[in-house]
Structure 1
Amino acid sequence: MNGGLYRSAHAGSEGAPQQSDGAMLISVDDAPGTTAAGDQALPPEDVPPTGGGTEGGSTAGNSAIMAAGSLVSRVIGFVRNMLIGMTLGAGIGDAYTSAQFLPGQIYELLLGGILSSVLIPLLVRRRKADPDGGELFTQRLLTFAVVTLGAATLLVVAAAPWITAIQSSSGTPEAYRDLVTKFAYLILPIIFFTGLSAMISAVLNVRGHFAAPMWAPILNNLVVIATCGVFIVVFGTTNGFRPEDMTPGRVALIAGGTLLGIVAQAAGLLPALRKVGFAWRWKWAPRALGLGEVGRLAGWMLCYVGANQLAVFVVVRVLNGVSGKNNASVLAFNNVYLLTMMAHGIIGVSVMTALLPKMSAAAAEGRFADVSADLSRGIRLTTTALAPIAVAYGVLGVPIAVTLFQGGAFTYQDAFNTGTVLVVASFAVIPLSISYLCTYAFYALQGNKTVALINIPVVLLRIAGYFVLAEILSDSFAAAGMTAANAVSYLLSAVISLAVLRRRIGRLNLGSVAKGLMKVLVAAAVAAGAGLLVMLLLPGGDTPGRLTAALQVVVGGGVIMLVYLLTAALLRVHEVNQVVGMVRRKLGR
């Protein structure tokens, strides 16, 4: 159950993983999977996507295109976030990041939560059932989306001062809140173009075209990167700036460039519509869309998304109150969250994408023992793969943050504070992915209502944790406290989900899972000890400079990975070989 800031990563019934660059992957892969041969850990990945055929080419080709687009997008997206920090620094960057969260949150409430859970399946059904392949229905749906998103965006922009006030606590300086509002006026229109991009991507995916939706976000990132470059050339970095030092020209350049990025992303998808033969004509007929059915289907998903976005508002409100004075705040929290999601996206999402079709087929046929076996294998495989990454984040948190983020207006102290938050986030990496795996199991069982009901106590605990930790911790550890609350809520989500799944599908083989996890834990502990020893021997110590931090990351990370693999092999953790084999197959492809 998502605890992230930017966009709910479970926004649909098949998931909408949040990339580090802010791009949402629209997935319509609900085709039954085939049975894996032998003792293969995962089902075959060449499962044909649904949605009306194979206009986009073979599934293997589509997978390669999507994998390449995702990798390039993640790398460039991370460069984008690094440059934003270096250009704006922690204080101004906090205000910018707070404003940038707003369109993502509001978009989720308007459309994101129901897109892949309701609208994409609806487009798939109409494409198969309608004589015109769903052409007229899609035109009507896009027309309705443009009108409603446009009207909603205008209302939200007009209400920007009130929305930013909700995100501000009593301790938030007025000048800081005013700066967030100034950014918001130019950034909030992103809502419209994000929705437009998502709808066009859905239309393309349903017609078997996957390349443009995966590569278009790169245009967005490149525009923002260029904006940061222009800002530095024209104004320099904001190092030492106060909120009142941000003139209208400076605000217009950085916020306007951010808006221009998403406009470029949406425009970059239009040629692909023509390529798949879809002609977008204005068709205003909302009654013909069956909105009553959409509303009924979307109810539980809106409940799920609404709970998550409430948590987002709370954490941003808390962290806005501690921004400045060399405290890790919204920008640091978001950078750490992106690192956490990057690990999950590379490992957890790959496992889930491969498992979901097979679990869905088994659930549809009532083979709950197979669902249980797939879920157990998924948990063992994901945990085995993520354990060394979690160890690296915990042992090398500060060197990683200094290497990646220090520079320009983002000072050494800002990077050091970010590293402290990353150390805490290391405990969230594995619970996050296990909770997601359980959620995907519910999706395979058509349990959207169950997911929403489980999410309510999880979010309530998360919010309670935010408030309690904000009270008992100093301002300098507020972001770390928020991250710790997320980690606890992920763990609670996994425990509740496993208990409910056990009642629904029977025995989950948790004994064998626990035995495997204990071996992984021992291997991770040995690797952590080796990593700490290397840190003591390498130059830089606890406060490394940029070069010594990079040295610690390379050498320490290599030692952690090597010791982990050797220890896991000695303990006969069979999933290690399966993880290595999966990576080799992907690289070979």
Structure 2
Amino acid sequence: MVPSRRPTPAGNVPPTDTTARSSAIMAAGTLVSRILGLVRVALLATAIGTAGAVSDLFPAANNLPTYIFLMVAGGVFNAVLVPQIIRASQQEDRGSDFVSRLMTLSVIVLFILTVLITLAAPFLADLLTNVSGDALALTTVFAYWCLPQIFFYGLYSIIGQVLNANGSFGPYMWAPVVNNIVSIGFLIAFIVMLGAERTTGHTPDTWTPTHTLLLAGGTTLGIVIQAVVLIVPLRRLHLGLRPRFGWRGVGLGKTGRLASITIVTMLIGNGLYMINQWVATIATEARTDLPDDVYIAGLTNLDIGSLVYVLPHSVIALSLATVMFNRLAAAHSQGDVETTKETLSLGMRTIGVATVFGAAALLALAAPLGMVFSGGIRAGGALNALIITLLAVGAPFLSANFFLNRVFYAAEDAITPLKIQLILSVTGVALALTASLFEPALIVPMLALSFTLGNIVAVVVSHVFLVRKIGGYGAGHIYDVHVRLTVAGLIAAAFGAGLLWFFGAYQPDGFVWQSVGSAVVVLLVAGPLMAGVYIGMLKVLRITELSDFLAPLLSRFARR
């Protein structure tokens, strides 16, 4: 099929207004998805709790496909393939032949990989958790249901990167919305039909196939649909894609070499996450010997804290970095080092506007945030709040390190990220194993603290390697802006802490701790007021990056 018009080659640097629009569309999709994701997590906490007999077992199994996919394929799809697809899109056939062969090979490899890993579910469940007996048996059942997600994560990722490389950024960020809607529907059915943790108290002994179908089956179905819906916008590109075999002489050799290095990098990095999960489930196993009224933080509390603290990164930093990655890749292909530096500096400063406020908000609002994801159980909310507080400081560093590493991948340099990951993984493993030496009640809080320390170390290490590669990129200017952003954030956080005192956050029976609904009310009141104080301080401190951050959103409202 011949397209009605030839789109602008993806390798060209998009104009500023196009980048702004793309960032806004992606940020909007991610924001909606994250909001629904938070609703899903809150419902999951209501369904199985955050510190109960089953609370950590499902996350332990459901994390496996994510970790395994990222280890063996995620880095390849999300970083290595984009420059290759962009280059192919500049050919006469708009990359049809290359992408067809690439997708055919990817689907075959993903299918074989998924089948083999799913068959290994009992081994993986035993290896990667510290639970035993009935808890291990239930975790294994969950793993059988969840591991097929690997194939659909891969399908979603490869189609999404083809769309991104051809300038279609929205669908990739909006597809998870459908996933979350499906999952939410199944969780509501679970709560209505089988009862909430607060009233029922689910255990491995009382668990039935219906429980598994609604919980694990609904989750996996959401991932399936998330991938399948991207086929529609892919067809609208009119690339003429079809299954094509034979991979010699089409340029996949270089991709394979880069991919092999990236796989090693991701194996090391995500292997660390698995070690963290293994350490966290030491606390999970210890719960079986505790009285019913004694709660300690476990894997679910760590997962909830991690989900909340990455929100600024996921909603703003990831969206902006994904769009700017194409500009970085195009600048590299043209040998334009100055554009690379300018894009990096602007991105780091602009992202900081959101991530610094995110850290301040997490610190001030940890109590109501923790309670929202507690399933209405006050002790669980307090544990969540503790973990969120320990993770909050690392939020800006997480985004900064991610953006720094995009420069290496845009330059098709997979060796340097591998070196960086080796250093960070050694540091992370040491911190995780140190956490495992503490008494069970302190293991997960110490893991959360290790995440924050690891993010700070990551920025320092990545900066050193990047300066060696491209020279100075205005780090002093970036640092100066972040110092002023931090001042604004601390003032906003102090204001938020005052509001939380008013709502009884520092009293065991205060309004914040009464219910999930009361926590939501506090967030709706305190969050916008804190944002207003923060924006006011940015203007007082003359931080012009606020305009760069708001421009995409304001331009969309103006057009409407």
- For the aligned pair, the TM-score class normalised by the smaller chain equals 0.7 to 0.9
Provide the rounded CA distance (Å) in 2 between the counterparts of 1:334 and 1:388: 21
User: 1:31-430 maps to which residues of 2 (within 5 A)?
Assistant: 31-33=12-14, 44-47=16-19, 60=21, 66-90=26-50, 91=52, 92-129=54-91, 133-169=94-130, 172-206=131-165, 209-238=168-197, 239-277=200-238, 281-285=242-246, 292-323=253-284, 324=287, 326-353=295-322, 355-360=324-329, 363=332, 368=337, 371-402=340-371, 404-407=372-375, 411-430=377-396
Residues 31 and 98 from structure 1, CA distance in 2 versus in 1: closer, same or farther, beyond 3 angstroms? farther
- Tell me whether 424-433 or 349-358 shows the greater mean CA deviation: 349-358
CA-CA distance at 1:471 after TM superposition:
1.6
| Alignment CA distance shift 1:365-1:268 (3 Å) | closer
User: 2:554 is matched with which residue?
Assistant: 584
1:259 to partner: Cα distance: 2.1
Change (3 A) 1:432 1:133: closer
Checking the alignment, whether the CA contact within 8 Å between 1:523 and 1:567 is kept in structure 2 is yes
State the 1:29 CA deviation: 6.0
CA deviations over 1:23-44 (Å, ceiling 9, x no partner): xxxxx9653255xxxxxxxxx1
Counterparts of 1:109 and 1:513, CA distance in 2: 32
The separation in 2 between residues aligned to 1:133 and 1:567, in whole angstroms, is 48
The sequence identity of aligned pairs, in percent, is: 28
Unaligned regions of 5+ residues in structure 2, if any? 1-8
The equivalent of 1:471 in structure 2 is 437
- Equivalent residue, structure 1, for 2:4: none
Structure 1 pair 139/174, CA: closer, same or farther in 2 (3 Å)? same
> What's the offset of the Cα at 1:264?
2.5
Q: So what's the TM-score if we normalise by structure 1?
A: 0.81
Q: Is the 8 A contact 1:45 1:354 kept in 2?
A: no
In the alignment, structure 1 residue 565 sits paired with structure 2 residue 535: yes
- Determine if contact 1:428/1:484 at 8 Å carries over to the other structure: no
Q: 1:367 to 1:141 in 2, by over 3 A?
A: closer
User: Does 2:481 correspond to 1:516?
Assistant: yes
- Does 2:493 match 1:528? yes
C-alpha RMSD of matched pairs (Å) = 3.0
Shift of 1:139: 4.0
1: CA distance, partners of 2:67 / 2:18? 34
Q: Cα offset for 1:359?
A: 4.7
Q: CA deviation at 1:578?
A: 4.1
Q: Larger deviation: 148-157 or 419-428?
A: 148-157
* C-alpha distance in structure 2 between counterparts of 1:380 and 1:64, whole Å: 17
Between Structure 1 and Structure 2, how many residues are aligned? 534
Following superposition, the deviation at residue 188 of structure 1 comes to: 0.9
Give the distance between the partners of 1:127 and 1:444, measured in 2 at CA.
16
Q: 1:272 to 1:507 in 2, by over 3 A?
A: closer
Alpha carbons of structure 1 residues 133 and 231: separation in structure 2 relative to 1, 3 Å: same
Deviations 1:224-267 (A, max 9, x none): 11211222232222442222321233223321222222222333
Q: 1:551 to 1:306 in 2, by over 3 A?
A: same
- Residues in 2 aligned to 1:289 and 1:370: alpha-carbon distance in whole angstroms: 30
Alpha-carbon spacing, 1:254–1:533, altered in 2? closer, same or farther (3 Å): closer
Q: Encode CA deviations 1:478-521: one digit per residue, 9 max, x unaligned.
A: 33322221111111111122222223333344444443333333
CA distance in 2, matches of 1:153, 1:227: 24
Partner Cα distance (1:476, 1:256) in 2: 32
**1:367 positional shift:** 5.3
Q: For 1:417 and 1:106, how far apart are their aligned partners in 2?
A: 28
Question: Which region of structure 1 is more displaced relative to structure 2, 384-393 or 575-584?
Answer: 575-584
Q: Which residue of 1 aligns with 2:544?
A: 574
Q: Is the 8 A contact 2:312 2:354 kept in 1?
A: no
CA 1:541–1:103 in 2, change beyond 3 Å: closer, same or farther? Answer: same
**Larger deviation, residues 276-285 vs 444-453:** 276-285
1:96: how far off? 0.9
Aligned position for 1:16 = none
* Residues 256/535 of structure 1: CA separation in 2 closer, same or farther (3 Å cut): closer
The residue number in structure 2 matching 1:541 is 506
Q: Following the alignment from structure 1 to structure 2, what is the Cα–Cα distance between the partners of residues 522 and 119?
A: 40
Contact 1:390 1:429 in 2 (8 A): yes
CA distance in 2 between counterparts of 1:551 and 1:139 reads 50
* Superposed CA offset, 1:298-331 (max 9, x none): 1221122111111111011111121245222222
Equivalent position amino acid for 1:74 in 2: R
Counterparts of 1:123 and 1:517, CA distance in 2: 35
Query: What is the deviation of 1:127?
Result: 4.7
